[in-house]
Structures are given as structure tokens and as C-alpha cells.
Structure 1
């Protein structure tokens, strides 16, 4: 059995992983306007490109070997490009996977917990300002950025690396548009909230509280 057959061409896995990741995206970051759909569409393209190369066809490895002359065997290990290109071997690949996984897990938890808090706040007609929303103004968008960044660490491809800055740009613009709407809806209350908290990332000294908010019980 060839290395390619052993490690790639598993399009059934591609479909399963794309469906799972897409369900998480559209369930917990439900697009409402076409601006929302733009951001979600870029993340959807990222998801498809990621898993198509992880299990289907290693386009990035072909490009690196064909245009740059880098010798990369067609195995699952070489998909960990940072460790492969820098010569860190299997230990580097494991570290790469663990580090990327930390960003991905934190990102997904931010998306899910942010959704829960916004859902309950909307039922009560109030502004979400507790939990992760008590540390940054857009924790769900922060979560998307962190999860995408974690995948760039874990399994970079040409397409996902190119999509990453576009995703960041789309969600920064989306956050600014959303804040304009919230200012109109909540007035001075949101202006005070916006002045008090950072948009996406807390200051370094607040990261302990930021991480504790991910694991603490949700406020009622």
C-alpha cells in the first residue's frame, strides 16, 4: 500500500469532519445578516480546505515539492508542516498538535459559552455583560479567531494560511458593525460597556480571569 493511499484519499472522513465543524459554526454563530454570512462563509471555506488536505488530497505538499523542490513524503506526519520544515521530527509534531489543540479548545469554549450567555440575555431583553462578556466585548469572535489560529499551528495549508487574515478582517469589521447596532439598541449602557472592556483580547494581567470564566458555572 502506498503512502498516499494509507494517509490520504479518505473523502468520507473529509465529509464527516466538514459536517461536524460546519454544524458547530452555524449553530453557535448563527448568521443573521449578509455581513454575518461573509464571515461564516470564510470560516466555512477554511474548514473545507483544512479537512480536504488533512484527509483527502495534500495540495500544499504537492506545491512545496513541485515549486520549491522540498522533499516531503506523502504521509500524515508531513502534514504537520511547521515541525517538518523546521526539522523538529515527531516530538515537534506532537508539540505542534498540543499547542494548536489548546487554542482550538479555548476558542470553541468561547464560542459556545458566548452563545449561551447571549441566548439567555436576549430572552430577558438585556445586554450580555457577564462571564466571558465581562472580560471582552466579542468573545465569540475571539473564539473563532483562536480556533482558526490553532488549526494554522496544528495543520497549516496554503489555502488556510491565506484565508486566516481574511477571517480576522471580516470579523473585525463585523464586530464594529455589531457595536453600532448595539449602541442604538442599548444607548449609554453599551457605550459605558464598550469603554470599559477591550474588543477581542483582555490585557495580559486579566488572562487568569479570562480562562477561569471559561470553566466557571454560567451566571443566572
Structure 2
């Protein structure tokens, strides 16, 4: 495989794309606490691994090359477009950038960054004022920042799945859930009963239909 022909070996392009998305996420997220930095660091590692294969070295295509060629002989697995594995597997023969999985990936990635950009101002104001963030998107879910990261990572998987990112994705989801629980312990020690009531009223990750405030014990 010649890098110039196949679209690989472009390490500068890989570095530029990884840096762009990492900086883009940082501009919306702006990690402050150690938990923020851990979550952001895991996201950054996923992005670096993704673009290293997308433009640098297609490790997944090399590892699976024999099986892919035997089962999908109509696909040129040495081409750069072949990295859009889902489009190739499901028979999308037009430009993969206009395939259904690629379009869906933009929806997930765009939705994730929108959620980050919506959640950050609410959290920032609450942190500056020393209070609990409960308005805006925090009125629907307790951890929108981690939900946003998972949406973005899901979008990248739909667009360009690799062995490394497929393996790391469930690990990252599990790690984000653990970070969220640790954050909640910190919030419980800081805000006490206010945060305990907040946990009862607002789900952690998946928003539910809007309801009125939960009745107090005296009103139940």
C-alpha cells in the first residue's frame, strides 16, 4: 500500500484533526476538577487513536484484511474509503461520506458538542456562585457532560470504527459512569440534603418526561 495513493501515512493531518476536536471539546468543557480532567483525558485518548488510524496507519484494516477480502471481495480494502467499515459492510457503494452511518455520525457528534456547549455555562455559573447547578439541561439530567462525550464517541464509531476504539468504547462508558458516581459523593458531602433531593428528582444520564417537583415527605 502506498500512503499517497491510499490516503494513509498522513500523520500531520491526523495530528491536526485530533488537535482540532480535542481543542473544540475543551473550549466547551473547560475541565476544572480532577474528575473533569480525567474524563477529558479519556476522550482525548480516544480521539488520538481514532485519527491515528484514519489518516496514519490503518491497523484495523491490516488485522482484518484477510477476512475482509475473503468475505467482501468487491471492496478495495486498500483504499481510504474502506475505513468506513459500516458503509462497506452494508453495501453502500456511493461516496461513503454521504452514507447513512456517516450522516448519523454527524447527528451524534453535533448533538454531543451541542450538549457540551449548553451544559458548560450553567455549570460554570453555579461553580462561581458556590451553588448546585439545577437549571437548563441540568434540570433534565445530572451528568450532561458525560452524556455528551458518549454521544460524540458514538458518532466517531459510526463514522470510522476501529478495533482500538471498539475495545475502548465500553471501557470509557464504564469509566464515565464511575467518575459520575465519584462526583456525586463529592456533591453529597458538599451540598448534603439538597443534592440528595436533586438525585431523587433528576435522572443521572437519560432524561425522562418532565414532571412536577417531587412532593416533600410532609405532602406525600
TM-score for both structures, normalised by structure 2:
0.83
Aligned twin of 1:12: 12
Structure 1 residues 29 and 166 mapped into 2: Cα distance closer, same or farther (>3 Å)?
farther
CA distance in 2, matches of 1:183, 1:17: 39
2:3–2:9 Cα contact (<8 Å) kept? no
Offset of 1:4 from its aligned partner? 5.3
Question: 1:81 is matched with which residue: 82, 85, 92?
Answer: 85
SS state at 2:77 partner:
coil
Q: How many residues are treated as equivalent by the alignment?
A: 204
Structure 1 residue runs without a partner (length 5+): 207-220
- Larger deviation, residues 74-83 vs 63-72: 63-72
Aligned twin of 1:162: 167
- 1:22-41 alignment runs, 5 A limit: 22-27=22-27, 28-30=29-31, 32-33=33-34, 35-41=35-41
- Larger deviation, residues 65-74 vs 51-60: 65-74
CA distance in 2, matches of 1:189, 1:98: 42
CA distance in 1, matches of 2:40, 2:128: 24
Deviations 1:71-113 (A, max 9, x none): 5422232111011122232377521111011011111111222
Relative to its length, the structure with more helix (as a share) is 1
- Larger deviation, residues 117-126 vs 136-145: 117-126
Aligned twin of 1:46: 46
CA distance in 2, matches of 1:132, 1:54: 33
1:11–1:55 Cα contact (<8 Å) kept? yes
1:42–1:163 Cα contact (<8 Å) kept? no
Answer yes or no: is 1:124 the counterpart of 2:162. Answer: no
Structure 1 residues 109 and 22 mapped into 2: Cα distance closer, same or farther (>3 Å)?
same
Larger radius of gyration: 2
Deviations 1:34-92 (A, max 9, x none): x5444333322211111111111111111111466545422232111011122232377
Structure 1 residues 114 and 137 mapped into 2: Cα distance closer, same or farther (>3 Å)?
same
CA distance in 2, matches of 1:174, 1:3: 40
Question: 1:90 is matched with which residue: 81, 88, 94?
Answer: 94
2:53–2:162 Cα contact (<8 Å) kept? yes
CA distance in 2, matches of 1:37, 1:125: 20
TM-score for both structures, normalised by structure 1:
0.83
CA distance in 2, matches of 1:88, 1:18: 27
Cα RMSD after superposing both structures: 2.3
Structure 2 residue runs without a partner (length 5+): 211-220
